[in-house]
Structure 1
Amino acid sequence: MIDGPRATLRLLQVTGTLDPEYGGPPVVVNQLTSALGANGFDVDVVTLDEPSSPWLADVPGNPVALGFRMAGYRYNHGLVDWLRTHVDDYDAVIVHGIWQYQSVAVRSVCRRQGVPYFVFVHGALDPWFAERYPRKHAKKSLYWKLIERRVLRDARAVLYTCDEERRLAATAFTPYRATEAIVNLGIAEPPGDADRQVAAFYAAHPHLRGRRITLFLSRLHPKKGCDLLIRAFAESSRSEPHAHLVLAGPDSDGTMATLVELVDALGIAERVTWAGMITGDVKWGAYRAADVFALTSHSENFGIVLAEALACALPVLITDKVNIWREIVGAGAGFVAPDTEAGARELLDGWAALSDAQRNDVRERARSCFVDNFEARHAGLVCARTIAAAIGKADHA
C-alpha cells in the first residue's frame, strides 16, 4: 500500500501474474502502473504470483504477491480476504484477465462493498479460440453462462484496446452484456542507449552480423502463425542470400519442437536462429538490428511487441487478425495481409520489393505511428480520463 498524502484518485490493479513469459498482459499491467501514476493516480497492484517470484523485483511499484493454490485457474481464497480488507481504500479496481479466479474475486468483493471495477479481457474473447479449441470452448461456454458473463455485466466498464477487439468479443459467447469502453494501450520510450543495445544483441548472436534480419518476438504458440512465417520465409529468402529469420520468445504448449521439425524439413536451419526469451538490452538490440518485424498471427488483441517495434522505427508485417492493423495501414508503418501462407508470402515479398529509400520512408512512418498512437503518456491519459469519467470524477484526471 502507498503511504502519505492521498493523491487525486487511488486505483488497484489485480492480475493473475506479472511473469513476462506470459506475454503482453503483464507488460500492460506494468505500463499502466507507470502511465496512470503519471496522470494523477496512486496505483497499487495485487498479483497471484508467489512472493518469491524473481520477476517481481523488476516491476514498477511494490506489488502485493499472494500466491495461488491451483495452477491454471490460480485459485487463492486469500485474495478475497485481502480485497475485503483493503478495497475500500480505492476509488476503483481494474482486474486483468478472465477465466481465472481473480475476476470472480474482484466482482464478488467490489459488488458487496460498492467499489466500481473495470475489466481488461486481453483478447480472451477472440472467436479464434473457439475455432481452434472447440472442446475448451464448450467448457468455457458453460463457465460463461454460470459465472464469467456476470463479471463483464456488472463491471463499470469492460476496457477494450480497439474497436476491432470490442466487435469480436461481443460475438464469442452468449448472452453478452457489458458497458464497453475503448482505451489506448501504449509503452514508454525504449530505455537505454541504442548503440549499446545493438552491440549486446550481436554479442549474444555474433553470426547475425551482416544479415538482413526478419524478427519475430513473441510466445511460440499456435495462434502466432509461426508456421506461416517459416514457410513463407523459406520461399521468399531464396533470392536473398543475406536474409535470416530470428524467432525469439518462450516456448508454449510444445510448439517449438514442431517448428524446429518444419525448419529442418524445409532445409533452412542455417538461416533460422532460435533466440529464446530475450530481455533488456538484447531485446531492444534485436529490434534495432532487424530489417523488419513479422507477426503473422491468427489472433492478436493488441501486440505490445508491435508497439515496441514501432518505437524503434522498425516496420511491421502483420495479418488482418491483428486487431490494430487499421492503425498500421493508416500510418503506412508496414504491410497487412490475410493469415494464410500466401498472405505471409505476400508480406515478405512486398517488403523485399522496396528500394532502400522506400524502406527508410516506412521506418520513419513506423516511428511516427508509435508517437501518434502507442506512446505511453498519451495512452495513459486516455485510460485515466475514461476511468475517472466512468466513476463520476472526470474533473480529477
Structure 2
Amino acid sequence: MNILHSISSMSPKAGGVSQALRNLIPNLIQLGCQNEVVCFDSSGEVYGVKDDFLVHKIGPSKTPYAYVAQYQSWLKQNIDKFDVVIIHGLWLYNSYGTYLFLKNIPNIKLYVMPHGMLDPYFQKTADRKLKAFRNEIIWSMLEKKVINNATGVLFTCEREMDLANETFKNYHPRKKINVGMGVAKPPVFKQEMQDEFLKIAQLKKDEPYWLFLSRIDIKKGIDLLLQAYKKLSQNNSNLPKLVVAGPIESSYAQDLIQTYGGEKNILFTGMLLGNAKWGAIYAAAVFILPSHQENFGIAVVEAMACAIPVAITNQVNIYPEIEKANAGFIFNDNEAGLELVLNKLINVSQEELTTIGNNALQCYDDLYTPLDAAHNFMNKI
C-alpha cells in the first residue's frame, strides 16, 4: 500500500495533527506500507525534529485558507505513485483541493481524518462565533462534498466519531471508521533529559511540580488552571510548582505571562522539545490538561507512557478509557472542577500517585502502542 498524506503544515508548533502523523507513519512503514507527506510549508522551514519519511514542502501558502496555487499541478505529477490518499484536517485548501483533484479518479481511495475538527465544540463555544459562521459557509460550499464523497472518514476514538454526528446538517459519510491512534513509546530516561529541563525551568532536582505541556490557547483551559492554582497557593505554601510548557509567541500567551509570570511558583518555559520535553514529563508529579475540547490528547498519552498520573477534563475524548483504567483524575472543564481536582491532588498520597501512574502505563500498553495501532489502521482502510 502506498499512502499520500495531505496536511496544511508539519510544523510542531501547528499542534497535534502533525504529531499524529509522526506517530503513525514510522509504524506503517515498519509494516511495509510506503508513505509520503505533502504539506504547504515553505521549502526552507525547519521543524526542529527529524522525520524518517519524505515530506514534500510545496508552500508557502497564501490567505487564511492556506491556498497553494501549485498544489493541483503537484498532484498531477505525483499521484500515480499512490493508491490511497488521506486528508488530515479540515477547513483549509489541503482538504477541498485534494478532493477537487481526486473526485474523478475512482481507482484511488480517498479518506478524510478530521482530527477532532468535526467536534460540535467549535461551532458552539461563545468566543468562536465568527469562525463558526465561517465554518458553516465552508461546510455548505466545500467540506460536505469532501466528507460525504470520500471513501471513508477516519476517527481516533469512539467519542470523536459519535460527536461528529452532532455538528453539521447534511453530514452523511459513506463510511465512518474508528482507526484509533497510537503514540510512540518515549525514549528511555537519561539523566541529561532532566538536567536539560531543570536548566530551562530553573528548578532544583527533586523539586515537585505539576506539568501543563500543550499549546497555550484558550481552548486548553490554561487560564482556568492558572486562576485555580493561584487561588489555591494563597493558603498552601508547600504546593508543587506549576510548569507551563508551550509556545509563548502568541498575544494570548503573552497576556497570561503578564498576569501570572510574577508568581514565584508558576514557571513559563516556552515550548519544550527533545530531551527537555521528556525530562519535564518523566519528573512531573502529575500531568494536567484542563481542555474544553481535546480530540485525543497525544501529550496525555505520552505522559501515561512515562507512568505519570494524568488529570484531564471530561472533554478530552479518551477520558472514558482513562477513567476505566484508574489511570488519572477526571474533572469538569470549569473553575469549580479545577479547584476540586487541585485540592484532591494536594491530599493524595505518593503511594496512590505511584499506583495511578502504573495504571496509566498499563493503559498505554493495552490501548495506545503504535505498532498495534498501525496494524489496526491498515486493516480498516
Query: Shift in Å at residue 352 of structure 1?
Result: 2.0
Structure 2 residue 302 is matched with structure 1 residue 305: no
Change over 3 Å in CA distance of 1:199–1:252 after alignment to 2:
closer
The one-letter code sitting in structure 1 at the alignment partner of 2:248 is D
Distance 1:330 1:275, change over 3 A: same
- Alpha-carbon deviations, 1:336-360, whole Å to 9, x = none? 1110011111222222221121111
Q: Measure the CA separation in 1 of the matches of 2:11 and 2:295.
A: 19
Residues 181-330 of structure 1 mapped to structure 2, 5 A cutoff: 181-237=177-233, 238-251=235-248, 253-263=250-260, 269-330=263-324
Q: Is the 8 A contact 1:221 1:252 kept in 2?
A: no
Q: How does 1:369-380 map to 2 (within 5 A)?
A: 369-380=363-374
* TM-score after normalising by structure 1: 0.91
Output the TM-score relative to the length of structure 2. Answer: 0.94
Unaligned runs of 5+ in 2: none
Correspondence for 2:41: 49
Distance 1:68 1:305 in 2: 28
- Residue 8 (structure 2) aligned to one of 13, 16, 28: 16
The offset of 1:211, in angstroms, is: 2.4
Contact 1:337 1:344 in 2 (8 A): yes
- Tell me if the contact between 1:296 and 1:319 (Cα under 8 Å) persists in the aligned partners: yes
1:359 aligned to 2:356? no
By how many angstroms is 1:385 displaced? 0.9
Name the structure 1 match of 2:119.
126
Gaps of 5+ in 1: 1-8, 388-397
Structure 1 Cα separation of the partners of residues 170 and 112 of structure 2: 17
Query: Which position in structure 2 is the counterpart of 1:381?
Result: 375
| CA distance in structure 2 between the aligned counterparts of 1:291 and 1:183, rounded to whole angstroms | 32
Instruction: Give, as a single letter, the amino acid of the residue that structure 1 aligns with 2:348.
Output: L
Alignment-mate amino acid for residue 307 of structure 1: V
Aligned equivalents of 1:71 and 1:40: distance in 2?
A: 38
Give RMSD over aligned pairs: 1.7
Aligned-partner Cα distance in 2 for 1:243–1:58: 34
Residues 62-99 of structure 1, C-alpha deviations (whole Å, 9 max, x = no match):
21111134143221131111212222321201111110
What does 1:36-185 correspond to in 2, within 5 Å?
36-55=28-47, 58-114=50-106, 115-130=108-123, 131=125, 132-178=127-173, 179-185=175-181
User: Relative to structure 2, which stretch is displaced further, 103-112 or 14-23?
Assistant: 103-112
Letter in 2 for 1:340: N
Describe the superposition over 1:343-389 as per-residue Cα deviations: whole angstroms up to 9, x where unpaired.
111222222221121111011011111111111111111111111xx
C-alpha separation between the residues in 2 aligned to 1:193 and 1:319?
Answer: 28
Summarize the Cα distance change of 1:381–1:141 in structure 2 as closer, same or farther, 3 Å threshold.
same
Instruction: Indicate the SS of the match to 1:378.
Output: helix
Task: State how many pairs are aligned.
Answer: 376
User: For the residues of structure 2 that align with 1:72 and 1:252, how far apart are their CA atoms?
Assistant: 19
Contact (CA 8 Å) 2:35, 2:54: kept in 1 or not?
no
Q: Equivalent residue for 1:4?
A: none
1:336 to 330, 336, 342: 330
Q: Kindly indicate whether the alpha-carbon contact (under 8 Å) linking 1:245 and 1:271 is maintained by their aligned counterparts in 2.
A: yes
Instruction: Give 1:12 shift.
Output: 0.9
SS at match of 1:231: helix
CA distance in 1: counterparts of 2:73 and 2:61, whole angstroms: 15
Is the contact made by 1:221 and 1:251 (CA closer than 8 Å) also made in structure 2? no
